[in-house]
Amino acid sequence: MQLLQENTLGNVKGAETRLDEAFSVIEQLQIRLEHLTQHTLTQGQVEQAQAQAHAQAHLDDINAQLNASLGNAHHWWLRATAYEQQLTAIHRSTSWRITAPLRFAARVIYLPFRTSRSTFSQVLRRSVPHARLWLARRPLIERPVLAILKCNPWLHSKLSNMHQATLNPAPETVASDLQHGVIDHAPLTQRGRTIENALREAIMKGQK
């Protein structure tokens, strides 16, 4: 009987020992599971932080490119505005208004290179009287224009020849005018003759 009790007590102690070992294993497994869970959460957070950093860097790069484009556009807009102001100032300047007849004459001279001869003749016949009247009515502009012409003999010679051609048109020119119904050598009024004589004298002075 005593032996049976000792065996039973030994079995109980062995069972308790095995239970303690099992509880220890379970506790270790719980600790490991918690560690793995924390590691998994930390890794996910790291990946999320890396993705956010990459997206922020990409957004910063796009913003930098946009700011650079806006800066370039503003720069060119300022330059265009400055050029426009300079052009406006040039058009309003006295020298631009004074040299208007010269620019007009230059366009007339080089017109044959861009148009046919007949078209040039028509434009010349219609433009020269207006140009000479415009210049004759502005003596303050006429003097500096003549001074500029003296510095350019070639241009002065071309203008003089065109003026003489309008005063004394060739027979074929007159015939062409009649065919096209253009009559620009009609008798001038007293004021027209006065202006024409003044212009002729100015050109003669410029040739001296």
CA dist 182 → 116, 123, 130 (Å): 18, 11, 15
206, containing H or E segment: helix 190-207
Taking a C-beta distance cutoff of 8 angstroms, is the pair 27, 19 a contact? Answer: no
Question: From CA 34, how far away is CA 109, in angstroms rounded?
Answer: 98
- Burial track 4-23 (b if 16+ CB lie within 10 A, e otherwise): eeeeeeeeeeeeeeeeeeee
Model-level pTM?
Answer: 0.28
DSSP one-letter string for 109-129: HHGGGTS-HHHHHHHHHHHHH
Rg of the chain over all Cα atoms, to the nearest angstrom? 51
101 Cβ contact list (under 8 Å, min separation 6): 131, 134, 135, 141, 145
**Smallest Cα–Cα separation from 193: which of 124, 133, 140, 125?**
133
Question: From CA 156, how far away is CA 160, in angstroms rounded?
Answer: 6
Residue type for 40, please? T
pLDDT value at residue 30: 82
Q: What is the pLDDT along the chain (208 residues), one digit of tens a residue?
A: 555 556 666 666 777 777 778 788 888 888 888 777 776 656 666 677 778 878 888 888 887 888 888 888 888 888 888 888 888 887 777 777 777 777 776 776 666 555 555 565 566 556 666 666 777 777 777 777 777 777 777 777 776 776 666 666 555 444 444 444 444 444 556 666 677 777 777 666 655 5
Taking a C-beta distance cutoff of 8 angstroms, is the pair 145, 199 a contact? Answer: no
